Chains A and B, each alone.
Chain A
Amino acid sequence: MHFIRGWRRSAAAITAIRSLSVKRFLCSIGSEDDTIFAVSSGQGRCGVAVVRVSGPASAHAVRSLTRGFPAARVASLRSITHPQTRELLDRGLVLWFPGPGSFTGEDSAEFHIHGGPAVISGVLQALGSLPGLRPAEAGEFTRRAFGAGKLDLTEVEGLGDLIHAETEAQRRQALRQMAGDLGRIYQDWRVRLKRCLAHVEAFIDFSEDELIEDGILNDVDTAVRQLQTDMENHLSDQRRGERLRSGVQVVIAGSTNAGKSSLLNMLTQRPAAIVSATAGTTRDVVEVPLDIGGYPVLLSDTAGLRDTTDSVEQEGVRRARQRVEQADLSLVVVDLTQVPSEPQLVPVFLSEHLKNILEHSSHRQQCILILNKSDLSSAEHNRSIQASLERSDDVPAACFLSCHTRDGLEDLLTLLQNRLKTLCGDPLIGSPSLTQTRHRTLLQKSVEALHQYHQYRDVDLVLAAEGLRLGLSSLGRITGRVGPEEILDTIFKEFCIGK
């Protein structure tokens, strides 16, 4: 049996060799042995998303994410689970297209899943965790299909935009348009890494004849290390993808009887938590998963923070504090009627109050202040507070709300949605889950390559430089290629090279 299977494969290999030069050419990024995946349904939110997989490891991907291998070319309903964590990601349709009778001519599969960003991101990350699988480059499915003779010219025309998306100029433009901070960060890394490589190249090509001191390599060592740290921090810090999958942790915190549970009930549109006029009603953490403007949120209501002798309430307060520690975003509820009416005292009062509830300054940066019970406070009082808040820089974003009359709810939701957008990255711009997974893979590759620099630094400078070259080319897949001419330009700008 094994023998026969092996023989079949080698027959297929012979057919493959015939079109090898064609395929190799078309597969200009990565190798054709890789198995690629991407969301191939359109961009933006949709009911159903199609994730397509193509390449030799497609069958393995189907086996790893589902149970019961589907029949060829028949839609089968399956549970889709993460291969490592066994976490259930979604239930959807799975289709198996054995090569060569598939779109790309290779073994391929499709997962038809629910279109929410969390689900899509979860499935993409699950696929990315499998060996031999990587996110597809723009237009790569089309190129593979074209290489296998599956497309004629008119079809390619229709898909031309996809291929277009990959030119250097557009890549750089895409970089410029990338959410401000991210674009700046990548650009900064590119410049720094380019300079490191230029210095090593200068040392290799010119140090024997010119005045290029040995010290230059020590500077490169430091610069590369700093880059690695920055990139690694970025990779581990930015939980955006994870947040999309498991939800943004939003916690409601505040003093007792400020109206936290009322806020939870209003947001969830059901009485999820018990509300009473008695201070200390909520003892444990109440968790509700929510979808706010398309973003998955895990909203928790916590016990009011106060010193207490009640041992059950003490435990509730401890849990509340712990939850605040872990939260991505805090909604701090303040009873407006407790706020002093003298304008100069307002900022001080609120700052002190915030410090009491959010002990770490980092948490105070990720919080929204909710001034509740606006219906119980006089309009004049509210106006004067608002005016003093506008003059103060220390107090975070705040909004007035009445959980009773629902006044101010719209403003709160807008504010909340904007925060969530920043925390998750905006999944509606471009095709983010794809872009971000792709970026992550490339950045990881780049970091690994920088390790190679240190590994060989004292053994063989050429192999060390090769690490920097590799790192820069991986980064260049995001930011635009850096060719030898650009490296030489950098060298000649900084060094006087001349016999």
Chain B
Amino acid sequence: MLVRRLRFPKTLSTCSIQASDIHTQHYDVIVVGGGHAGTEAVAAASRVGAKTLLITQKIQTIGALSCNPSLGGVGKGHLVKEIDALDGVMGRAGDWAGVHFSILNRSKGPAVWGPRTQLDRQRYKDFIQSELLSTPRVTILEGSVQDLLFTTADPEKPGRHKVYGIRLAHGGGEIHSRSVVLTTGTFLSGALFIGQNTSPGGRMADPPSCAGLSHTLKEVLGLKVGRLRTGTPPRIIKDTIDFSLTLIRLPDPSPTPFSFMNTHTHCKPEEQLPCYLTYTTPGVERVVKESSHHNSHIQQDTKGPRYCPSIESKVLRFPGRQHQVWLEPEGLTSDLMYPQGLSMTMPPEKQLCLIREIPGLQRAKICTPGYGVQYDFVCPTQLFPWLQVKSTQGLFLAGQINGTTGYEEAAAQGLWAGVNAGRTSLSKPPVSLSRTQSYIGVLIDDLIGRGVTEPYRMFTSRAEFRTALRPDNADLRLTLRGFEELGCVSEQRYNEALRVQVSLNDALSALKSIHLSASRWKDKLGDVNISETKSSILNGVEVLQYKDVSLQMLASAFPELAGLYLEFSERLKVEAIYRPHCEKQRKEIERMQAEESLYLPEDIDYLTLPVSLSQEVREILDSVRPSTLGAAARLSGITPAAIVHLFNYVHRNKHRNHS
């Protein structure tokens, strides 16, 4: 059994490197930013073999959870499983730092089970920092990046610019690299809002990134940049909460780890902490209305999300309703609680008035007030599916800079940008993920294909092939390819995924080889609800699809066949339920993959292309510049005729180029 031992984290005190040592060095990849996107990018780039430098403003905030102390959930948990399947850090960090594990949506079908945990903030940070420290080929530098360095673009490749490194602020000099990954989060022209006060910053007590970077992206590279906002709730002192007035929510008695490589979590089941549920009252609504003229964040029209809104916008958009407030632990030893659902930007004294209208919080005290952040993002339609800026060779973007929200969304992009930045620096071709194969593929395809109008969060409803993209099979979907083609997965993990794949296939074949009539099955399995109206013969997989049939039951009836596979009983049950449906969707999946594999040349001039296209279609194609014919077909305003013409043009040119 392959179980990765959970290492005890070391401290990072020794990893800071003097800038003077670095001047002389050349890196394959430089990652700017040490949040969830940055840390996954660093780890992924080094896994594919690139010599990687992480530059962060503060080493001690590497892996910090700036907002909620939790990981996963429905959709987000799917992303964590996929990040883990590609050997990323996040899943294992969650298993180490989790203090309250639960699988959401237990009653709704395994395709949408949402693994989730509350985190101990300090443990999470410690794990990430120690992981990076022990990763080969990684160097970490504390500093600010003032600007990017450009050189002449390679005429053989698309793009007008080429990046070759960064210049540090405060006279720190230049560091050269083949690729640069920007993961600036909320720090790009970041501004903090509380009440009517505004101050520059990316997070409370941390300054924004250098103005030079923002200027370069906009003015030098000519990238289209927009502005988004988000917010965080006040942190409440635990001792001042009367939990007797709230509802307790206990974790799963037996915690399920995120990582395919872990069989158990670091936190023991009995050491887990509970969460508490309370509700807003009409008093909350009154305070919001009274304070709205002191609240400049709310009054501005910068795009905030519809699904993670501040309590102010919830009350203003859905007045007269009760809203849930979850009180979540910040860690095993923390004396703070995080009130999920109470993100707010009103003046601190009003924040206190507001929380005291909530049952359980009547005497609560605030440790740090909530605040809003506004920041620049780069419109992600300007990226390739491998997250490289189309106009700039070697420059990759990941995380909130691409208009997403959430740790998991950021980490997923960071991993993918890291893999590709690493590969590019090693002169390997870039790679992309299909939306038919993974939620990461859905995420990136949505971003680059449609752009964003509000911070993008993952939902399972975004995935067309939801029954195929499950948390349980992320390893089969990604780990094999991750090792064989991408080079970002360790051999150990690969071997484990292979073993699982072979076992599952063997088990399904063995089950399929058992053929009995419905009544014989009933005799064998006892009192199960198999309809006998079907005169046909059922095989073992078909019987396993029935609600009350488990692999254990089949194993006791056919110990020589099914008994070998009890280790995979849950996964086999899930496979049996969804396989027929996935088979039905296979053709549609293949069609979408074919569309995705037809790349449109990057240098194509749509405005003068000698094929029959309407001016309107030309302008749409010119402004969005879709990467594939599939992406072009999904654009609104593009006619099927235009797609046929484009296809014909691309197809003929490809032949010409080959000959």
Contact = CB atoms under 8 A, between A and B. Distances in A.
A31 B105 CA distance: 34
A25 interface: yes
Interface string A131-153: 00000000100010010000001
A349 interface: no
A275 interface: no
Contacts of A208: 73-74, 104-105, 114
B644 A146 contact: yes
B467 A28 contact: no
A205 B587 contact: no
A496 B636 contact: no
Contacts of B594: 20-21, 24-25
B324 A461 contact: no
A80 to B, nearest CB: 32
Interface of A: 20-22, 24-28, 31, 139, 143, 146, 153, 156-157, 160, 163-164, 166-168, 201, 203-211, 459-463, 465-466, 484-485, 487-488, 491-492, 496-499
B108 interface: yes
B641 A211 contact: no
Contacts of B105: 204, 207-208
Contacts of B640: 28, 139, 163-164, 166-167
Contacts of B324: 209-211
Q: Which of A20, A143, A487, A498 has the most CB of B within 10 A?
A: A498
B307 A484 contact: no
Contacts of A484: 461-462, 464
30 contacts: A22-B651, A24-B594, A25-B594, A25-B598, A25-B647, A28-B640, A139-B640, A146-B648, A160-B641, A163-B640, A163-B641, A201-B459, A205-B75, A206-B307, A208-B73, A208-B74, A208-B104, A209-B104, A209-B324, A460-B110, A460-B577, A462-B108, A463-B109, A463-B581, A484-B464, A487-B461, A497-B307, A498-B309, A498-B314, A499-B68
A163 B651 CA distance: 19
A334 B332 CA distance: 94
Contact of A204 (B74, B322, B581): B74
Contacts of A20: 594
Contacts of A166: 640
A20 B111 CA distance: 31
Nearest to A154: B612
B639 A167 contact: yes
B6 to A, nearest CB: 27
A451 B68 CA distance: 41
Nearest to B591: A24
B306 to A, nearest CB: 4
B309 A164 contact: no
Contact of B459 (A28, A31, A488): A488
Interface string B536-557: 0000000000010000000000
B629 interface: yes
B466 interface: yes
A210 B277 CA distance: 11
B420 interface: no
B461 A28 contact: no
Contact of A461 (B108, B595, B636): B108
Given A25-B598, A139-B640, A463 B633 contact: no
B612 to A, nearest CB: 6
A146 B343 CA distance: 56
B443 to A, nearest CB: 13
Nearest to A156: B644
B321 interface: yes
A205 B323 contact: no
Contacts of A207: 105
B308 interface: yes
A266 B611 CA distance: 61
A368 B86 CA distance: 74
Contact of B467 (A466, A485, A492): A466
B644 A462 contact: no
Contacts of B605: none
B313 to A, nearest CB: 8
Contacts of B578: 463
A318 B633 CA distance: 63
Contacts of A465: 466
A156 B73 contact: no
Nearest to A489: B306
Contact of A25 (B464, B587, B591, B639): B591
Nearest to A205: B459
B491 interface: no
B644 A460 contact: no
A484 B463 CA distance: 8
A22 B647 CA distance: 9
B644 A143 contact: yes
B277 to A, nearest CB: 10
Nearest to B75: A205
A172 B175 CA distance: 56
A206 B459 CA distance: 9
B435 to A, nearest CB: 11
Nearest to B470: A462
Interface string B308-329: 1100001001100111101000
A499 B457 CA distance: 12
B460 A205 contact: yes
B629 to A, nearest CB: 7
Nearest to B450: A485
Nearest to A452: B581
A465 B109 CA distance: 11
Contacts of B581: 463, 466
Contacts of B651: 22
Contacts of B462: 484, 488
B645 interface: yes
A24 B581 CA distance: 20
A198 B591 CA distance: 26
Contact of B108 (A153, A164, A204): A204
A465 B578 CA distance: 13
Given A28-B640, A466-B467, A487-B461, A496 B598 contact: no
A57 B112 CA distance: 39
A203 B114 CA distance: 13
Given A211-B323, A499-B340, A31 B648 contact: no
Contacts of A203: 108
Contacts of A498: 307-309, 314, 323, 341
B547 A459 contact: yes
A479 B633 CA distance: 18
A485 B449 CA distance: 13
Contacts of A168: 636
B629 A25 contact: yes
B597 interface: yes
A139 B644 CA distance: 11
A21 B592 CA distance: 10
B227 to A, nearest CB: 21
Given A21-B598, A204-B108, A466-B581, A499 B341 contact: yes
Contacts of A25: 591, 594-595, 598, 629, 647
A351 to B, nearest CB: 53
B590 interface: yes
Kindly list the 4 A-B residue pairs having the minimum CB-CB distance in the complex, ordered from nearest: A462-B109, A460-B109, A201-B461, A208-B104
